[in-house]
Amino acid sequence: MAPVPSYTYPCGNLNIFFIPTFVSVIIIQKFAKVELRSLFGNFQINNILRMIAGKRFYGDGAEQDDDSKRVRQLVDEAVSSAGVGHASDYLPLLRWVTSYERRVKKLAVRVDEFLQGLVEEKRSQKEKGNTMIDHLLSLQKTQPDNYTDVTVKGLIVVPRTLEWAMLNLLNHPEVLKKAKIEIDTKIGLDRLMDEPDALNLPYLQCIVSEIFRLYPAAPLPPRKATDDCIVGGYNFQRGTTVMANVWAIHRDPDIWEEPEKFKPERFEKKGEDKKLITFGMGRRACPGSGLAQRVLRLALGSMIQCSEWERVGEEYVDTTEATTMLPATPLLAMCRARPIVHKILNA
């Protein structure tokens, strides 16, 4: 089977959706309190579904459409179902007692029906676009033996990483200031940050890497030992299910200096990012890691470029984690637009 041709969506287009999604926040001329979790969620879903199907589900009144409401409901249910482990994962007998597995299977059917609807809509269009579905449909025609079915099974979710990033920047204003100076110096005050700019912002990348280290976006999926082996002094028989504790590895004092401290500067050292296994490693690493990092860099950089950010009060923002790897309390922040926003919107 031939390798799948790469699909690259220009993340620079992300600003097209960043502005409508955050417009109520970024045009604020005086400091005002904003709740960021829902904004991050809307922005990410909009961006991902734009890549997949070329449709907008938030901004300019689109959120009132029936399809948009359906998307929000499906995403909310999927996140709540996938975010927490269930006892039946470890005691299969409980599957006959609880309704968890039945509920998740019904949700999977609804998600597939929604995604299949997007596919059929694209299939009926005469003009082909540059979306992921367009590319997969094209491959289905040119390589029918390899692409007999077209379904999109998942979304890349980075809102929680954005929330952790902003939370830590609010608690470390000196880091936020340093990132802002880097962006203003290298991009200027007359245009918005674009995807190629991110490659020239090393300190912004250090911040992203440090957030991935401290707050892995999701647990790595379980694996099975292909042979009998010894790892860390423990014997694993062939077929044993193994899970890597990324959270513990990323906070191991034998690997990281001051592992509990938010310190982006640690990644200024060459090769330090090679220690990260947020998305796995090797051939079985998450194929969406590159896209996730591109979206995160551009979104976080745009927020720093477009707005001033402060804590709601003098106290540090609570960093307690919930069981779903999110902050226990949705992030609140004080925000106001920087002059560049009004310059761009009035141009």
- Does residue 6 fall inside a structural domain? no
Binding residues: 286
- Does residue 77 fall inside a structural domain? yes
With a threshold of 0.75, does the pTM exceed it? yes
> Which residues, in sequence order, are bridge partners of residue 321?
327
- Does residue 55 fall inside a structural domain? yes
- How many domains, the chain? 1
How many whole angstroms separate alpha carbon 296 and alpha carbon 208?
A: 8
Binding residues for heme: 286
- Does residue 144 fall inside a structural domain? yes
- Does residue 1 fall inside a structural domain? no
C-alpha to C-alpha distances, 227 to 232, 244, 245, 271, 280, nearest whole angstrom: 16, 17, 21, 31, 20
Q: In 216-326, where do the E strands start and end?
A: 223-224, 229-231, 234-236, 241-242, 307-310
Per-residue pLDDT of the chain (347 residues), as tens digits, is 333 444 444 444 555 445 555 555 555 567 888 888 878 877 777 777 777 777 776 655 555 667 777 777 787 777 666 655 666 666 777 777 677 778 888 888 888 888 888 888 888 887 777 777 777 777 767 765 554 443 333 344 578 899 999 999 999 999 999 999 999 999 998 888 988 898 899 999 999 999 999 998 778 888 888 999 998 888 999 999 888 899 999 999 999 999 999 999 999 998 898 899 888 887 777 777 777 788 889 889 999 998 999 999 999 999 998 877 788 899 999 998 888 887 877 76
3-state secondary structure of 176: helix
- Does residue 3 fall inside a structural domain? no
Cα 178 from chain centroid?
A: 23
C-alpha to C-alpha distances, 344 to 29, 40, 184, 236, nearest whole angstrom: 14, 22, 15, 59
For residue 262, what are its two tokens?
Answer: 């938010």
- Does residue 37 fall inside a structural domain? yes
**CATH number of domain containing 162:** 1.10.630.10
- Does residue 152 fall inside a structural domain? yes
Domain containing 297 equals 11-345
